[in-house]
Amino acid sequence: MRFALLMALGAASIYACSSPTGVTTANSCGSSGASANIGATDGLVFSPSAATIAHGQSVCWQNNGNISHTVTTNDGNSISASLTPGHILLHTFPTAGSYPYRCTIHAGMTGTITVN
Ligand SMILES: [Cu+2]
């Protein structure tokens, strides 16, 4: 895990002048095509904390602050990802249901995605 991270950082340094790929650096939720955009803020909240989408649609979380967060669904299966400053997380929900989630770093930083 640590090795992989170092390799990723190395690659990012080497290819800093090329276009970013994936769902992290230099992307924004505004152009992601997600049906709901949620900010993870330095005030330690998800804003908005509740969002509703249809199944098959996606949610985009964006961290515009300086504090790292995670997006971790309480079911432990749907999402478990870090959301570091300047990055986004794009996730598609194929199945209807209620998906409460939290930031594992900051107690009380919670939200819910309702998928119809
Ligand atoms: Cu947090």
Query: In the chain, what are the domain boundaries?
Result: 20-115
Distance in Å, CA 44 to ligand 1 centroid: 5
CB atoms inside a 10 Å sphere around CB 47? 11
Distance in Å, CA 100 to ligand 1 centroid: 15
Residue 6 confidence (pLDDT) above 80: no
Cα–Cα distance, 39 to 104 (Å, whole number)? 16
pTM over 0.85: no
Q: What is the pLDDT of residues 25-68, one digit of tens each?
A: 446 898 889 999 999 999 999 999 999 999 999 999 999 999 99
Distance in Å, CA 86 to ligand 1 centroid: 14
Mean pLDDT, residues 84-112 taken together: 96
Distance in Å, CA 109 to ligand 1 centroid: 6
Domain spanning 20-115: CATH superfamily: Cupredoxins -  blue copper proteins (2.60.40.420)
Question: What's phi and psi for 29, nearest 5 deg?
Answer: -65, -25
